[in-house]
Amino acid sequence: MSSLHPSINYMKAAPFEVPATSSAAANNDRNVPSVEQLVLDLCNPDLRENALLELSKKRELFQDLAPLLWNSFGTLAALLQEIVSIYPVLSPPNLTPGQSNRVCNALALLQCVASHPDTRMVFLKAHIPLYLYPFLNTTSKTRPFEYLRLTSLGVIGALVKVDNTDVISFLLYTEIIPLCLRTMEMGSELSKTVEFLEAFGNTICRHLLFYMLSWLVATFIVQKILLDDVGLEYICATAERFFAVAGILSNMIIALAEQPSARLLKHIIRCFLRLSENLRACEALKNCMPEMLKDGTFSSCLLEDVTTRRWLQQLLHNVLGHRVAIQAGGGFDIVNHG
Protein backbone atom coordinates (compact mmCIF):
# COMPACT_ATOMS: atom_id res chain seq x y z
CA MET A 1 0.00 0.00 0.00
CA SER A 2 1.38 3.33 -0.90
CA SER A 3 2.45 5.46 1.97
CA LEU A 4 1.51 8.97 2.90
CA HIS A 5 4.92 9.89 4.19
CA PRO A 6 6.19 12.40 1.64
CA SER A 7 3.09 14.54 1.88
CA ILE A 8 2.86 14.38 5.62
CA ASN A 9 6.54 15.05 6.07
CA TYR A 10 6.15 18.08 3.94
CA MET A 11 4.05 19.59 6.68
CA LYS A 12 6.73 19.28 9.30
CA ALA A 13 7.51 22.95 9.47
CA ALA A 14 5.10 25.81 9.27
CA PRO A 15 5.26 27.56 5.91
CA PHE A 16 4.66 31.05 7.20
CA GLU A 17 7.20 32.56 9.49
CA VAL A 18 5.67 33.35 12.83
CA PRO A 19 7.54 36.15 14.57
CA ALA A 20 9.55 34.69 17.42
CA THR A 21 8.14 35.58 20.80
CA SER A 22 10.52 36.73 23.48
CA SER A 23 10.43 33.34 25.17
CA ALA A 24 11.30 31.62 21.90
CA ALA A 25 14.27 33.91 21.42
CA ALA A 26 15.48 33.35 24.98
CA ASN A 27 15.33 29.58 24.58
CA ASN A 28 17.42 29.56 21.48
CA ASP A 29 20.84 28.84 22.84
CA ARG A 30 21.21 28.58 26.56
CA ASN A 31 18.36 26.74 28.24
CA VAL A 32 16.64 24.74 25.53
CA PRO A 33 13.52 23.35 27.24
CA SER A 34 12.95 19.60 27.34
CA VAL A 35 10.05 18.00 25.49
CA GLU A 36 8.40 17.39 28.85
CA GLN A 37 8.72 21.07 29.75
CA LEU A 38 7.27 22.09 26.39
CA VAL A 39 4.28 19.80 26.94
CA LEU A 40 3.70 21.48 30.30
CA ASP A 41 4.06 24.88 28.63
CA LEU A 42 1.04 24.06 26.43
CA CYS A 43 -1.18 24.72 29.44
CA ASN A 44 0.22 28.19 29.93
CA PRO A 45 -1.47 30.59 27.47
CA ASP A 46 1.63 32.81 27.41
CA LEU A 47 3.99 29.98 26.52
CA ARG A 48 1.62 27.95 24.35
CA GLU A 49 2.37 29.40 20.94
CA ASN A 50 6.09 28.77 21.24
CA ALA A 51 5.53 25.31 22.75
CA LEU A 52 3.27 24.38 19.82
CA LEU A 53 5.91 25.46 17.34
CA GLU A 54 8.79 23.71 19.07
CA LEU A 55 6.91 20.48 19.73
CA SER A 56 5.59 20.22 16.19
CA LYS A 57 9.15 20.60 14.91
CA LYS A 58 10.44 17.93 17.31
CA ARG A 59 7.58 15.50 17.00
CA GLU A 60 9.38 12.99 14.86
CA LEU A 61 12.50 12.94 16.97
CA PHE A 62 10.72 12.02 20.17
CA GLN A 63 9.07 8.62 19.79
CA ASP A 64 6.74 8.71 22.73
CA LEU A 65 5.43 12.21 22.33
CA ALA A 66 1.92 10.87 21.56
CA PRO A 67 1.36 9.05 24.89
CA LEU A 68 2.90 12.02 26.69
CA LEU A 69 0.47 14.41 25.00
CA TRP A 70 -2.47 12.13 25.63
CA ASN A 71 -1.73 11.29 29.27
CA SER A 72 -0.48 14.59 30.60
CA PHE A 73 -2.89 16.79 32.50
CA GLY A 74 -4.77 19.36 30.46
CA THR A 75 -2.77 18.92 27.24
CA LEU A 76 -5.54 17.60 24.99
CA ALA A 77 -7.89 20.25 26.36
CA ALA A 78 -5.32 22.91 25.43
CA LEU A 79 -5.01 21.53 21.89
CA LEU A 80 -8.78 21.40 21.47
CA GLN A 81 -9.01 24.94 22.76
CA GLU A 82 -6.59 26.01 20.03
CA ILE A 83 -8.84 24.34 17.49
CA VAL A 84 -12.19 25.71 18.60
CA SER A 85 -10.75 29.18 19.11
CA ILE A 86 -10.50 29.64 15.35
CA TYR A 87 -14.01 28.42 14.50
CA PRO A 88 -15.26 32.03 14.56
CA VAL A 89 -12.91 33.03 11.70
CA LEU A 90 -13.92 30.15 9.44
CA SER A 91 -17.13 31.76 8.29
CA PRO A 92 -17.02 34.39 6.95
CA PRO A 93 -13.45 33.36 6.08
CA ASN A 94 -10.97 35.53 7.98
CA LEU A 95 -8.12 33.23 8.92
CA THR A 96 -4.73 34.97 9.00
CA PRO A 97 -1.45 33.19 8.13
CA GLY A 98 -0.35 33.48 11.76
CA GLN A 99 -3.56 31.89 13.08
CA SER A 100 -3.34 29.18 10.45
CA ASN A 101 0.23 28.35 11.40
CA ARG A 102 -0.57 28.18 15.05
CA VAL A 103 -3.59 25.90 14.70
CA CYS A 104 -1.72 23.73 12.19
CA ASN A 105 1.02 23.20 14.74
CA ALA A 106 -1.68 22.02 17.17
CA LEU A 107 -3.04 19.72 14.41
CA ALA A 108 0.44 18.34 13.80
CA LEU A 109 0.50 17.24 17.44
CA LEU A 110 -2.92 15.64 17.07
CA GLN A 111 -1.62 13.83 14.00
CA CYS A 112 1.12 12.44 16.15
CA VAL A 113 -1.54 11.12 18.59
CA ALA A 114 -3.55 9.70 15.66
CA SER A 115 -0.50 7.84 14.29
CA HIS A 116 0.78 6.24 17.47
CA PRO A 117 -0.40 2.66 18.05
CA ASP A 118 -0.95 3.28 21.78
CA THR A 119 -3.11 6.36 21.35
CA ARG A 120 -4.88 5.86 17.99
CA MET A 121 -7.95 4.09 19.34
CA VAL A 122 -8.47 6.31 22.38
CA PHE A 123 -8.13 9.30 20.08
CA LEU A 124 -10.90 7.83 17.95
CA LYS A 125 -13.08 6.82 20.91
CA ALA A 126 -12.92 10.37 22.22
CA HIS A 127 -14.26 11.49 18.79
CA ILE A 128 -11.42 14.01 18.40
CA PRO A 129 -11.51 13.83 14.55
CA LEU A 130 -14.93 15.50 14.66
CA TYR A 131 -13.27 18.72 15.81
CA LEU A 132 -11.49 18.88 12.44
CA TYR A 133 -14.58 18.52 10.26
CA PRO A 134 -15.42 22.24 10.34
CA PHE A 135 -11.97 22.86 8.81
CA LEU A 136 -12.63 20.35 6.02
CA ASN A 137 -15.95 22.04 5.39
CA THR A 138 -14.33 25.35 4.42
CA THR A 139 -14.04 26.32 0.76
CA SER A 140 -11.91 29.47 0.85
CA LYS A 141 -9.04 29.18 -1.62
CA THR A 142 -6.58 31.33 0.27
CA ARG A 143 -3.34 29.91 1.46
CA PRO A 144 -4.11 29.83 5.21
CA PHE A 145 -7.26 27.80 4.51
CA GLU A 146 -5.51 25.51 2.07
CA TYR A 147 -2.85 24.78 4.67
CA LEU A 148 -5.51 24.19 7.31
CA ARG A 149 -7.41 21.71 5.12
CA LEU A 150 -4.26 19.87 4.13
CA THR A 151 -3.10 19.53 7.73
CA SER A 152 -6.56 18.37 8.86
CA LEU A 153 -6.68 15.78 6.08
CA GLY A 154 -3.22 14.68 7.22
CA VAL A 155 -4.65 13.77 10.64
CA ILE A 156 -7.41 11.68 9.06
CA GLY A 157 -4.86 10.21 6.62
CA ALA A 158 -2.72 9.14 9.58
CA LEU A 159 -5.75 7.41 11.12
CA VAL A 160 -6.63 5.39 8.01
CA LYS A 161 -3.06 4.43 7.23
CA VAL A 162 -3.37 1.33 9.40
CA ASP A 163 -6.29 -0.85 8.28
CA ASN A 164 -8.93 -0.89 10.97
CA THR A 165 -12.65 -1.36 10.48
CA ASP A 166 -13.49 0.68 13.60
CA VAL A 167 -11.68 3.67 12.12
CA ILE A 168 -13.50 3.28 8.80
CA SER A 169 -16.88 2.82 10.48
CA PHE A 170 -16.37 5.96 12.51
CA LEU A 171 -15.46 7.97 9.41
CA LEU A 172 -18.45 6.64 7.49
CA TYR A 173 -20.84 7.26 10.33
CA THR A 174 -19.63 10.84 10.72
CA GLU A 175 -19.90 11.43 6.94
CA ILE A 176 -16.31 12.15 6.04
CA ILE A 177 -16.84 11.10 2.42
CA PRO A 178 -18.67 14.22 1.20
CA LEU A 179 -15.88 16.28 2.78
CA CYS A 180 -13.18 14.32 0.96
CA LEU A 181 -15.13 14.46 -2.28
CA ARG A 182 -15.31 18.22 -2.03
CA THR A 183 -11.52 18.50 -1.74
CA MET A 184 -11.13 16.13 -4.68
CA GLU A 185 -13.53 18.22 -6.70
CA MET A 186 -11.72 21.46 -5.90
CA GLY A 187 -8.48 19.89 -7.09
CA SER A 188 -9.88 18.87 -10.44
CA GLU A 189 -11.40 22.32 -10.97
CA LEU A 190 -8.17 24.02 -10.11
CA SER A 191 -6.14 21.85 -12.45
CA LYS A 192 -8.05 23.35 -15.37
CA THR A 193 -6.93 26.87 -14.63
CA VAL A 194 -4.14 28.57 -16.52
CA GLU A 195 -2.43 29.58 -13.32
CA PHE A 196 -2.11 25.92 -12.38
CA LEU A 197 -0.71 24.81 -15.72
CA GLU A 198 1.82 27.62 -15.78
CA ALA A 199 2.92 26.91 -12.26
CA PHE A 200 3.47 23.32 -13.22
CA GLY A 201 5.59 24.34 -16.17
CA ASN A 202 7.90 26.23 -13.85
CA THR A 203 8.49 25.33 -10.27
CA ILE A 204 5.41 24.51 -8.29
CA CYS A 205 4.70 27.23 -5.80
CA ARG A 206 3.75 26.21 -2.32
CA HIS A 207 0.14 27.20 -2.64
CA LEU A 208 -0.40 24.86 -5.58
CA LEU A 209 1.57 22.14 -3.92
CA PHE A 210 -0.90 22.30 -1.04
CA TYR A 211 -3.72 21.77 -3.50
CA MET A 212 -1.99 18.80 -5.07
CA LEU A 213 -1.25 17.27 -1.70
CA SER A 214 -4.79 17.83 -0.40
CA TRP A 215 -6.05 16.20 -3.53
CA LEU A 216 -3.77 13.25 -2.99
CA VAL A 217 -4.53 12.81 0.71
CA ALA A 218 -8.31 13.08 0.17
CA THR A 219 -8.11 10.45 -2.58
CA PHE A 220 -5.98 8.24 -0.35
CA ILE A 221 -8.62 8.42 2.40
CA VAL A 222 -11.40 7.49 -0.02
CA GLN A 223 -9.26 4.63 -1.34
CA LYS A 224 -8.70 3.28 2.17
CA ILE A 225 -12.45 3.46 2.85
CA LEU A 226 -13.21 1.60 -0.38
CA LEU A 227 -10.67 -1.12 0.42
CA ASP A 228 -12.55 -1.89 3.61
CA ASP A 229 -15.54 -4.22 3.09
CA VAL A 230 -17.86 -2.05 5.17
CA GLY A 231 -16.68 0.99 3.22
CA LEU A 232 -17.30 -0.59 -0.18
CA GLU A 233 -20.77 -1.71 0.90
CA TYR A 234 -21.54 1.75 2.20
CA ILE A 235 -20.50 3.54 -0.97
CA CYS A 236 -22.30 1.08 -3.22
CA ALA A 237 -25.45 1.03 -1.07
CA THR A 238 -27.22 3.76 -3.04
CA ALA A 239 -26.94 4.96 -6.62
CA GLU A 240 -26.43 8.55 -5.40
CA ARG A 241 -23.41 7.59 -3.36
CA PHE A 242 -21.91 5.45 -6.09
CA PHE A 243 -22.36 8.09 -8.79
CA ALA A 244 -21.03 10.86 -6.53
CA VAL A 245 -17.81 8.91 -5.99
CA ALA A 246 -17.44 7.50 -9.52
CA GLY A 247 -18.25 10.92 -11.04
CA ILE A 248 -15.55 12.71 -9.09
CA LEU A 249 -12.99 9.99 -9.79
CA SER A 250 -13.86 10.31 -13.50
CA ASN A 251 -13.38 14.08 -13.41
CA MET A 252 -10.02 13.56 -11.80
CA ILE A 253 -9.04 11.19 -14.60
CA ILE A 254 -9.93 13.87 -17.14
CA ALA A 255 -7.91 16.46 -15.21
CA LEU A 256 -4.98 14.04 -15.02
CA ALA A 257 -4.93 13.52 -18.78
CA GLU A 258 -3.84 17.18 -18.96
CA GLN A 259 -1.40 17.03 -16.08
CA PRO A 260 -0.36 13.46 -15.38
CA SER A 261 0.60 12.53 -11.84
CA ALA A 262 1.52 8.86 -11.60
CA ARG A 263 0.90 8.81 -7.88
CA LEU A 264 -2.61 10.19 -8.05
CA LEU A 265 -3.45 8.03 -11.06
CA LYS A 266 -2.45 4.96 -9.06
CA HIS A 267 -4.88 5.84 -6.25
CA ILE A 268 -7.72 6.54 -8.69
CA ILE A 269 -7.25 3.31 -10.63
CA ARG A 270 -7.18 1.38 -7.35
CA CYS A 271 -10.48 3.06 -6.37
CA PHE A 272 -12.11 2.11 -9.67
CA LEU A 273 -10.79 -1.45 -9.42
CA ARG A 274 -12.23 -1.80 -5.96
CA LEU A 275 -15.61 -0.42 -7.10
CA SER A 276 -15.61 -3.02 -9.88
CA GLU A 277 -15.51 -5.75 -7.24
CA ASN A 278 -19.07 -4.88 -6.22
CA LEU A 279 -21.56 -6.47 -8.63
CA ARG A 280 -23.96 -3.56 -8.99
CA ALA A 281 -21.16 -1.03 -9.20
CA CYS A 282 -19.43 -3.13 -11.84
CA GLU A 283 -22.62 -3.08 -13.93
CA ALA A 284 -22.84 0.70 -13.60
CA LEU A 285 -19.17 1.10 -14.55
CA LYS A 286 -19.88 -0.54 -17.90
CA ASN A 287 -21.60 2.74 -18.82
CA CYS A 288 -19.80 5.35 -16.79
CA MET A 289 -16.13 4.45 -16.63
CA PRO A 290 -14.07 7.20 -18.30
CA GLU A 291 -13.04 6.42 -21.89
CA MET A 292 -9.50 7.54 -21.09
CA LEU A 293 -8.99 4.48 -18.94
CA LYS A 294 -9.90 2.27 -21.88
CA ASP A 295 -8.07 3.93 -24.77
CA GLY A 296 -4.50 3.82 -23.58
CA THR A 297 -4.28 7.55 -22.72
CA PHE A 298 -2.19 6.75 -19.67
CA SER A 299 0.00 3.97 -21.02
CA SER A 300 3.11 6.17 -21.08
CA CYS A 301 2.39 7.33 -17.52
CA LEU A 302 2.22 3.70 -16.37
CA LEU A 303 5.29 2.37 -18.16
CA GLU A 304 7.34 2.17 -14.98
CA ASP A 305 4.56 0.97 -12.74
CA VAL A 306 3.77 -2.71 -13.16
CA THR A 307 1.38 -2.86 -10.22
CA THR A 308 -0.87 -0.05 -11.43
CA ARG A 309 -0.79 -1.47 -14.98
CA ARG A 310 -2.06 -4.76 -13.62
CA TRP A 311 -4.75 -3.03 -11.59
CA LEU A 312 -5.91 -1.24 -14.72
CA GLN A 313 -5.95 -4.49 -16.67
CA GLN A 314 -7.90 -6.23 -13.96
CA LEU A 315 -10.34 -3.32 -13.87
CA LEU A 316 -10.90 -3.51 -17.62
CA HIS A 317 -11.24 -7.25 -17.33
CA ASN A 318 -13.88 -6.94 -14.58
CA VAL A 319 -15.84 -4.28 -16.39
CA LEU A 320 -15.45 -5.10 -20.09
CA GLY A 321 -14.58 -8.76 -20.11
CA HIS A 322 -11.32 -10.45 -20.98
CA ARG A 323 -10.81 -9.79 -24.71
CA VAL A 324 -11.51 -6.10 -24.63
CA ALA A 325 -9.28 -5.70 -21.62
CA ILE A 326 -6.28 -7.09 -23.46
CA GLN A 327 -6.90 -4.86 -26.46
CA ALA A 328 -7.45 -1.74 -24.40
CA GLY A 329 -4.61 -2.41 -22.00
CA GLY A 330 -2.33 -3.07 -24.95
CA GLY A 331 -0.32 -5.68 -23.10
CA PHE A 332 -0.34 -9.28 -22.00
CA ASP A 333 0.66 -9.02 -18.38
CA ILE A 334 -0.75 -11.79 -16.29
CA VAL A 335 -3.88 -10.38 -14.75
CA ASN A 336 -3.24 -10.41 -11.08
CA HIS A 337 -4.04 -8.36 -8.01
CA GLY A 338 -0.63 -6.92 -7.30
Q: Which residues bind ligand TRP (CB under 6 A)?
A: 175, 177-178, 235, 240-241, 244-245
Question: Minimal distance in Å, beta carbon 239 to ligand TRP?
Answer: 10
Residue closer to ligand TRP by CB (options 29, 175) is 175
Residue closer to ligand TRP by CB (options 222, 256) is 222
Question: Minimal distance in Å, beta carbon 242 to ligand TRP?
Answer: 8
Residue closer to ligand TRP by CB (options 155, 235) is 235
Question: Minimal distance in Å, beta carbon 157 to ligand TRP?
Answer: 18
Residue closer to ligand TRP by CB (options 150, 275) is 275
Q: Letter for the amino acid at 181? A: L
Question: Minimal distance in Å, beta carbon 96 to ligand TRP?
Answer: 32
Question: Minimal distance in Å, beta carbon 308 to ligand TRP?
Answer: 24
Nearest residue to ligand TRP, using CB? Answer: 241
Residue closer to ligand TRP by CB (options 225, 312) is 225
Residue closer to ligand TRP by CB (options 165, 259) is 165
Question: Minimal distance in Å, beta carbon 267 to ligand TRP?
Answer: 17
